[in-house]
Structure 1
């Protein structure tokens, strides 16, 4: 059966001199990338790695990612991508949850791992200069000996292990097989958006995230070109679109909010045919402004790491479903259930459950947790709340654990945040419940102001806005300004951290 490496190899044979990957101005052809993959594959075999074993990858965005992922796909190895900023207990927990046979690391991580004896010196490869005598990534490629081109790795083997809970606390490693990644690449992206080998795909989010990995692997399976940026910076992002004639990209909501705030800066982005927003629901004001800025198809998708993309919504300036995240993809079934996992009526909020061909293999060594995530009919319970309209559109409300219970009434933070974000000086906000002896919880909103130099509080204006738009039990009791809301590397607000800091 075909694996990811086989699909890539076909494109090497078909178009060896075509640009496969662009990074920091360097263009790497399919032939050159293939040579890197074969050299690394041979090295892994010489180190005794066998199908099913794991490699930790602590690296910033760069050419290392596609080389490691493709070599692992060829040999049937699994990759555990982790951020280079992971430190202390979180780093040890991550590697204890997913024991690895080798770690490819940024120098700061190599030093931490070696000094704490989490891994042995012969199990560490450092990208850059050696810190404590271990082998370097660059040294591997001084040897021109290649592995054989043949691969018999089963696509059902574990391929990528990604962490839930931000790799802190008690993470649940999500296991994704090559078969799953192929299905997500073709069914949820290539076929759905009708991509071809002529497309150029831009990746500007951290490659330890699943969405960015798809942005790299999917073009290489298709025979297209992927452009990787070291990190998101609006000017370089717009510049890359113009320079490389990018035609398709996934963008996270924070990037698009930055685009709205700063504009296209006289860059030509007319090459973009399709843009898909992911990671967090955009507010209606931002969507309206983006429609005026963009001349391409503009989509918003909803999904989860365990199941991939669930719904898609092609946003335009017409129609009555602008608050929706769209309809289920052709291979996905969605239902809304109550706390007893019984389906609720149309328009009633409940937990979003879905059945799909792009589901994960399970949580690593957590059979009970995996089993508990499904019902007897094979639907996965996402932990997200939403409702379906009578014409089949899904409306996302928020996470189950984020619901505020005040006076016996369930209140959804997103309803409040949607209103607060309409103020032109509010860049983002988080609504959450704080303990109250009478009502159980009352609502607090922490907001980030666009001009932090401005001393004047927006509290009065925001209360007026809430009074006009929200019902009595949705009114915030406390409204507080902060300089910066905590965010992850994708620019997504860390809601739980904000709640812990300001509650």
Structure 2
């Protein structure tokens, strides 16, 4: 692999994902787009393979606006299929492979997927779910050997179609990707991202002079993609490198041993990790042996980084750190705390998540939607072209999240200082973030409440040194019954993903409620957050 240039690539404007890849394939066809294991995919191969996939999807009856789905760990071929769908105006819906069967069934039925692509190891899950997904006509296995007899092998299927570009992609405002977020009422919602929203503020969509240093694409640079593609962090990273015409090393999932090996063997200059992953890498026995001199930036999100962890990471990795704040509904990052604000001595600014990216508006509002002055806590609202189009088939949820003027309510409580830095104080919603995964109490409570011995339950987030927050269940047992922590956790696992299950259970005589019967979660949480300067971790 050639040396990385230190000069920024010239600014090129692209209106769609497809246009960016098509241009890079024409201008630099042999440049590496993705590497997965021993397989290198060039931009020419990505373009041609996605053409074949697009023509194959057309043959299966997939039309513009239809949803297709992928359930599996990260693989370079996911991006080929995603691009193929976009080339005919279809929409990719990656499904969280950590979900339980009932949750997978819900997502596949809700998005009305006609075709499902499945990765290695998930055939048993899909076969359990398939009978309950009547619209699903075709299942295609990507690098999987354990599929059912009627499954199609992806490579054989793809290679049976011509590599001619169908030229039927959607426009800037058309749907491109649908990512599911946990729901406050127990069911996830499909956030619709358009070409415009996912391109906004990404390399090759914004002029170089408007970018921050860590955003500027450098020809030949390589990014490590280790976060899951069912998150905006994983899919967004791959989209970002495709836009910029740079390369990405794809790991099936975050593995510190593999990550260190990739850093040794490739000129990796950028990595996105959650703080827990940074900590895991620092604790790896081989971390002291690895040369990190080619690493330029570590970007991180989902939770702030503790000062002691940041000091240790800065000392070992010797690169710039960028904290990112955003969400699926904003197509990812909208606010960043840049390297110059990460100082080993610590500073008040390090408690913030930084300042809005160019083109992103942020305001703090009260319960009636009025803007409040600096340092007054309220709900964080944002407006930009990065905002989602809305929630799939949920107009009421959409209008309650995005107002008529385009302001999106984030559900986070915070304030801004006089310099425009944003500080997260709490959550307006009850969401828990554990190891970078969003968990809504309602989902877990519904699962636990279905246990015949449970009379009442409330789920809260409590501080956790490794994962930021951990899920705790406060359970009221029915009179005359007995129940153990292990039984509650085991029952939860039958209904929701493992990361949503409680890590601990408190058995209490009754849940605290207000006069209208609403559970007082803050009262349950208070003892665990005592002495901390904010109610999120």
TM-score, structure 2 length as denominator?
A: 0.74
Give 1:176 shift. 0.4
Matched, 1:140 2:140: no
Work out whether residues 348 and 388 of structure 1, in 8 Å CA contact, stay in contact via their aligned partners in 2: yes
Work out whether residues 177 and 361 of structure 1, in 8 Å CA contact, stay in contact via their aligned partners in 2: yes
Give 1:311 shift. 1.1
Give 1:184 shift. 4.3
CA distance in 1, matches of 2:344, 2:409: 32
> What does residue 317 of structure 1 align with?
344
Moved more, 65-74 or 307-316: 307-316
Work out whether residues 384 and 396 of structure 1, in 8 Å CA contact, stay in contact via their aligned partners in 2: yes
> What does residue 296 of structure 1 align with?
319
Work out whether residues 61 and 207 of structure 1, in 8 Å CA contact, stay in contact via their aligned partners in 2: yes
Give 1:132 shift. 3.4
Change in 2 beyond 3 A, CA 1:240/1:174? same
Work out whether residues 57 and 79 of structure 1, in 8 Å CA contact, stay in contact via their aligned partners in 2: yes
Aligned residue pairs, count? 439
Matched, 1:108 2:124: yes
> What does residue 270 of structure 1 align with?
293
Work out whether residues 432 and 445 of structure 1, in 8 Å CA contact, stay in contact via their aligned partners in 2: no
1:458-485 deviation per Cα after TM superposition (whole angstroms, max 9, x unaligned): xxxxxxxx6xx569xx9x9xxxxxxxxx
SS where residue 299 of structure 1 aligns?
strand
Work out whether residues 431 and 445 of structure 1, in 8 Å CA contact, stay in contact via their aligned partners in 2: no
Aligned 1:356-395 pairs, distance under 5 A: 356-395=384-423
Change in 2 beyond 3 A, CA 1:265/1:278? same
Matched, 1:125 2:140: yes
Aligned 1:25-174 pairs, distance under 5 A: 25-106=38-119, 107-116=123-132, 118-120=134-136, 122-127=137-142, 128-129=144-145, 130-143=147-160, 145-148=162-165, 150-165=167-182, 169-174=186-191
Give 1:17 shift. 1.4
Work out whether residues 39 and 147 of structure 1, in 8 Å CA contact, stay in contact via their aligned partners in 2: yes
Moved more, 206-215 or 258-267: 258-267
Change in 2 beyond 3 A, CA 1:339/1:136? same
Give 1:61 shift. 1.0
RMSD: 3.2
CA distance in 2, matches of 1:99, 1:222: 32
Moved more, 281-290 or 361-370: 281-290
Give 1:402 shift. 4.0
Give 1:431 shift. 8.9
CA distance in 2, matches of 1:144, 1:54: 20
Change in 2 beyond 3 A, CA 1:336/1:189? farther
CA distance in 2, matches of 1:98, 1:259: 36
Give 1:442 shift. 4.5
Give 1:203 shift. 0.5
TM-score, structure 1 length as denominator?
A: 0.79
CA distance in 2, matches of 1:119, 1:378: 34
CA distance in 1, matches of 2:70, 2:248: 20
Change in 2 beyond 3 A, CA 1:257/1:75? same
Gap runs ≥5 in structure 2: 1-13, 433-459, 475-510
Change in 2 beyond 3 A, CA 1:290/1:43? same
Work out whether residues 192 and 388 of structure 2, in 8 Å CA contact, stay in contact via their aligned partners in 1: yes
Change in 2 beyond 3 A, CA 1:470/1:57? closer
CA distance in 2, matches of 1:236, 1:446: 36
